[in-house]
Copies of this chain bind each other. A is one copy, B any other.
């Protein structure tokens, strides 16, 4: 049976534009992975009358209503009151929820005011969705042919509450198990990826294939539904293999979060270390490598050389290269990588130099002219990039860092650098 979902978010802060409705995005992603159709998002403020009207509309056009927000004491538990009323239910005191709230305050050593216990008032006969990430419990009930699920608003609570509480409940509505894998690609544009897959995507129903564009890279999510997880995995496997074969070395990982995470994983496996020398990326590569917890096992350090003096002084780039070719040149990129490798004492060093804009450099290099280089125990390599002047500065820098990490990944997995393909 096919369900229609409406996500109803309650919160004046959304209508004032203080925050974006990322809860609706998180839920929508999760729901489409479950094969449930989200047809509407609605946002109303902390206003009982307008919330009542929005619920009346949702009740008519959806058979699953998921609410976010409006559960805490500051909004008088508006969502619970309105939904209970709309479905003719009373709110009753739930002692286990009260106990959780008391112990939450005890644990975080904050004083608990009485209105906090109001959060333990829940629609009679509901399934309580215990909140391990905050105070307001969620709940779920079915009435008049509609499933209602209420989740807290703060994204740090909404996300795990959906994942660990609402999702299992929703899975019971659909038969079987949903499983998915995400392939990450670098070196191909979203439209080129889609063009190569379009016929296949349209022809598939289980598993399904969904492309996503990320900043400068692409994702493909393969999702299957089956009576058991083993059967779902069996359905996924051939498609994952097929996509990997189709895109070859452009696929840099399955169920991984980023190129830098993959690079650090490979370094850890091989017991090797990395360092960076950055001009145009200005610290971004080091920042991304150290975003990953545990980076200190493989990352030794970096040098951000924003002037020729620092390139010559700290990275030992020969002055004659700077004079003859300019800082934005393959020769200097290579010398920076070699210099960083020596200065930092790391096994692999990555280097970037280029023009991130807004203007051409003194050597008349266009914005978007970039060189990324790698120095390894087996030699060096430089990849020239022409990223164009249309992307904004931040995008140019991100893209350049992606390319440098791609060189490291290719070196560490024994793949050819394939500069022309990207």
A164 within 8 A of B: no
Per the 8 Å Cβ criterion, residues 284-312 of A in contact with B are: 284-291, 293-296, 299-307, 309-310
Q: Mark A43-79, 1 if CB is under 8 A from B, else 0.
A: 1110100100110010001000000000000000000
Contact with B along A263-299 (1 / 0, CB 8 A): 0000000000000101001111111111101111001
A314 is an interface residue with CB less than 8 A from chain B: yes
**Does A14 reach chain B (CB closer than 8 Å)?**
yes
B residues near A303, Cβ cutoff 8 Å: 301-304, 314
Are A307 and B300 in contact, with the CB atoms below 8 A?
Answer: yes
Indicate if the CB atoms of A50 and B39 lie closer than 8 Å: yes
A88 within 8 A of B: no
Q: Does B290 contact A302, Cβ atoms closer than 8 Å?
A: no
Chain B's nearest CB lies how many Å from the CB of A362?
Answer: 11
Known: A42-B42, A302-B304. A18 touches B283 (CB 8 A): no
B42 and A53 contact, CB distance less than 8 A: no
A121 CB, nearest partner CB in chain B, Å: 26
- Tally chain A residues at the interface, Cβ within 8 Å: 72
Check A284/B282 contact, CB under 8 A, given A18-B212, A26-B17, A357-B293. no
Q: In the complex, are the beta carbons of A29 and B53 less than 8 A apart?
A: no
Chain B residue numbers with a CB within 8 Å of A27 are 17
Residue A200 interfacial (CB < 8 Å): no
Chain B neighbourhood of A16, CB < 8 A: 28-29, 32, 38, 210
Beta-carbon contacts under 8 Å, A212-243 to B: 212
Contact A394–B43 (Cβ < 8 Å): no
Distance, CA A287 to CA B41, complexed state (A): 36
Residues of B within 8 Å of A41, CB to CB, are 14-15, 21, 41-43
Quick check: B17 and A25 within 8 Å, CB to CB? yes
Interchain CA distance A345-B44 in the complex, whole Å:
56
Complex contact A44–B38 (CB within 8 A): no
On whether the beta carbons of B50 and A44 are closer than 8 Å, the reply is: no
Across-interface contacts of A103 in B (CB, < 8 A):
none
Contact A293 B20 (CB under 8 A): no
Contact B283 A302 (CB under 8 A): yes
A189 contacts the other chain (CB 8 A): no
Q: Give every chain B residue within 8 A of A15 (Cβ-Cβ).
A: 28, 32, 38-41
Q: Is the CB of A299 within 8 A of B306?
A: yes
Whether the Cβ atoms of B18 and A21 lie closer than 8 Å is no
A373 at the interface (CB under 8 A from B): no
**Chain B residues whose C-beta falls within 8 Å of the C-beta of A357 in the assembled complex:** 293
Interface contact A39-B45, CB-CB below 8 Å: yes
A301 pairs with B296, CB closer than 8 A: no
List residues of A (1-39) whose CB comes within 8 Å of B's CBs: 14-22, 24-32, 38-39
Q: Is the CB of A295 within 8 A of B299?
A: no
Contact (Cβ within 8 A) B42 A40:
yes
What would be 21 A-B contacts, judged by CB atoms less than 8 Å apart?
Answer: A14-B25, A14-B28, A15-B38, A17-B26, A17-B27, A20-B22, A39-B45, A39-B47, A42-B43, A282-B286, A283-B304, A295-B306, A296-B306, A299-B306, A301-B304, A301-B305, A301-B307, A302-B303, A303-B304, A304-B304, A313-B343
